[in-house]
Chain A
């Protein structure tokens, strides 16, 4: 059934490529869709995993990598913290099921972020638990890098969270 998801995702990207000529538009569209999915996926995730509240950004990043990715995509990326302030992390995926059936990006689509949906999903899900973040691809195996790396930058310092009351 994961194949169904992977194949559907592929058909979706192909369809978007037909509709939008520029890679940035396709990337933006995938990100938007991922964002909507993420805002709903977080409910499903919290219901299924019943995890306790994360108390720090690094716990959150670990949670995403070890629990969420494993639950939905069956892989466990490794997490590394890439800044002294403790709010930038990267997830390194050595295996990416979304690209199982993709050999390489076509030449005219060289800047397509094929998995941009993932970034949107992470961003949307985090926002629903009141954590603003920027999520982008730092490296992409489809573009020739050695691994696929997703960077998560949390946009608010931990102290600010207590003051946020809506």
Chain B
């Protein structure tokens, strides 16, 4: 709906703005990703608090991951995660074949190197959500072909 457009625009503006500022002062490219990720972290913490106010306690880690894939992702991106894989030893791979924040970019190879910038915020979002649910985690993202990402 209309809200989404607003968020998408704000997000792409944030990414662009931060990188613009970084170009003007030298050599801060790596820090931009960190800043985006920490913004996502704060937002993720807040969001997860509001979403889980009324839901039952989670039984285990897998339950939490399923919640993230279904309810959380649906509320944030209006669709569910397409594929969740795990090795049952603490590593989970979430695959989204039509990632909302990447659909606006063309599907070819030319923007592949810029894609990670757009994923940093979402990684922070997931990490923040998990941290407020009591799980310490490291979240990384990988884009092999737009607009899918893992």
Q: Which residues of A contact B (CB under 8 A)?
A: 1-5, 7-12, 14-15, 19, 29, 32-33, 36-37, 40-41, 44, 48, 71-72, 101, 117
Contacts and interface: CB of A to CB of B under 8 A. Distances in A.
How many interface residues does chain B have, given as a range? 20 to 34
Contacts, number: 75
Contact of A3 (B9, B11, B16, B47): B47
Given A1-B76, A3-B47, A40 B10 contact: no
Interface in B2-19: 2-7, 9-11, 13-14, 16-17
Looking at chain B's contact residues, the main secondary structure is helix
B39 A15 contact: yes
B50 interface: yes
B117 interface: no
Contact of B78 (A1, A9, A12): A1
Contacts of B5: 41, 44, 72
Looking at chain A's contact residues, the main secondary structure is helix
Contact of A37 (B4, B9, B40, B76): B9
Given A4-B47, A37-B13, A11 B6 contact: no
A117 B43 CA distance: 18
Nearest to A19: B21
A33 B42 contact: no
Nearest to B17: A33
A5 B7 CA distance: 5
Contacts of B46: 3, 7, 101
A14 B35 CA distance: 11
B7 A8 contact: yes
Nearest to B46: A7
Contacts of B21: 19
A40 B8 CA distance: 11
B75 interface: yes
A4 B2 contact: no
Contact of A8 (B17, B38, B39): B39
B47 A5 contact: no
B14 A48 contact: no
A29 B5 CA distance: 21
Contacts of A72: 2-3, 5-6
Contacts of A19: 21
26 contacts: A1-B7, A1-B76, A2-B3, A3-B47, A3-B50, A4-B7, A4-B47, A4-B75, A5-B6, A5-B7, A5-B10, A7-B46, A8-B7, A10-B42, A15-B38, A15-B39, A29-B17, A33-B17, A36-B13, A37-B9, A37-B10, A40-B9, A41-B5, A41-B9, A48-B2, A101-B46
Contacts of A37: 6, 9-10, 13
What are the nearest 3 A-B pairs in CB distance?
A11-B39, A7-B43, A5-B7
Given A11-B39, A101-B46, A5 B3 contact: yes
A86 B116 CA distance: 48
B120 to A, nearest CB: 13
